[in-house]
């Protein structure tokens, strides 16, 4: 499997979403510790630049820039041709979802997540529902995240072979990723996003959703962050060599975490 830098701070991986009938291209982009992002904004589309100046708080401006930056890497990788970043616009839809306009290329979707100095994105075809989430793992959130679990989830969480804060954050990431597929955000009662049937692997787990059986998720943790991807249940995500994503997902995320 090949990892490569499209720009210095971002790591891309080309993936495939496999169904019984065909394969769909997917591109994942991850970066960490982006540092100052307002020193050079020539990569923003004019509409994005205008929106940036409606944001008054530095942290919100930073997260907006981090999300657009990592998403444009994913979109450019998906197009697989040179497109100046300022010609790619990622605006907001009516439900707050990201909407891509890129060099006359229709039907490109993107899912974006950012947390402090980490950001990730997926670019994929309109016909494929996908969502991604990244969260900072910290012990200070243990009580908050635990209180969001259902009784069934608490029973399973207590038996997971990971640090308590990592297990809780991975479960939360799985729910956040689903909310992006549904375009609801976490606005519904938490039990609607209940996770079930966890299958543990070396650094994370697969899972399903009690109320959304058409979707499943893959969650992994690095030393500092958890990541989750939600995708259709009857599909398989592989790298470009045909290896299941879980085989190299952790190494890929560590590559992104160590960058910058």
- What CATH number does residue 74 fall under? 3.90.470.20
CA pair distance 169, 220, nearest whole angstrom: 10
pLDDT tens-place values along the chain, 260 residues long: 333 333 446 888 999 999 999 999 999 999 876 667 777 899 999 999 999 999 999 888 988 999 999 999 999 999 988 889 999 999 999 888 999 999 778 889 999 999 877 899 999 999 999 999 999 999 999 999 999 999 999 999 989 999 999 999 999 999 999 999 999 888 888 899 999 999 998 789 999 999 999 999 999 998 889 999 999 999 999 988 888 887 777 666 655 555 54
Coil, strand or helix at 101? strand
What is the domain extent for residue 119? 4-258
Number of domains in the chain: 1
Closest C-alpha to 203, from 258, 160, 146, 232: 160
Q: What is the pLDDT of residues 137-188, one digit of tens each?
A: 999 999 999 999 999 999 999 899 999 999 999 999 999 999 999 998 888 8
CA pair distance 204, 215, nearest whole angstrom: 17
Q: What pLDDT sits at residue 7? A: 44
Q: What pLDDT sits at residue 118? A: 87
- DSSP string of 139-169, one letter each residue: GGGHHHHHTTS-HHHHHHHTT-SS-HHHHHH
CA pair distance 172, 101, nearest whole angstrom: 30
Closest C-alpha to 100, from 115, 114, 79: 79
pTM (two decimals): 0.91
CA pair distance 74, 69, nearest whole angstrom: 9
Beta strands in 104-244 (DSSP E): 108-115, 118-125, 131-136, 195-200, 204-209, 215-221, 225-232, 236-239
Angle at 69 between CA 3 and CA 8, to 5 degrees: 40
For residue 31 the two structure tokens come to 């970066």
CA pair distance 83, 159, nearest whole angstrom: 47
- Per the DSSP assignment, residues forming a β-bridge with 19 are none
Residue 236 CB-density burial (10 A; 0-12 exposed, 13-18 middle, 19+ buried): middle
């Amino acid at each position: 499997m090949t990892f490569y830098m499209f720009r210095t701070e971002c790591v891309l991986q080309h993936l495939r979403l496999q169904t019984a009938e065909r394969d769909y291209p997917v591109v994942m982009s991850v970066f960490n510790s982006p540092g100052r992002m307002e020193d050079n904004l020539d990569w923003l589309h004019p509409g994005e630049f205008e929106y940036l100046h409606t944001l008054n708080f530095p942290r919100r401006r930073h997260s907006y820039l981090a999300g657009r930056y990592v998403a444009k890497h994913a979109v450019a990788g998906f197009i697989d041709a040179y497109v100046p970043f300022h010609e790619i616009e990622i605006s907001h839809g009516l439900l707050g979802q990201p909407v891509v306009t890129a060099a006359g290329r229709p039907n490109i979707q993107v899912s974006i997540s950012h947390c402090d100095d980490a950001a990730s994105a997926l670019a994929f075809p309109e016909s494929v529902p996908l969502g991604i989430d990244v969260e900072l793992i910290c012990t200070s959130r243990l009580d908050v995240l635990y209180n969001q679990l259902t009784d069934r989830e608490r029973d399973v969480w207590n038996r997971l072979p990971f640090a308590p804060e990592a297990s809780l954050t991975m479960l939360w990431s799985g729910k956040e990723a689903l909310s992006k597929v549904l375009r609801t955000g976490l606005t519904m009662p938490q039990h609607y996003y209940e996770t079930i049937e966890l299958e543990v692997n070396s650094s994370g787990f697969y899972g399903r959703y009690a109320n959304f059986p058409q979707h499943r998720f893959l969650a992994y943790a690095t030393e500092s962050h958890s990541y989750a991807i939600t995708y259709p249940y009857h599909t398989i995500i592989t790298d470009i060599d045909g290896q299941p994503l879980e085989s190299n997902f952790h190494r890929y995320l560590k590559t992104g975490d160590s960058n910058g």
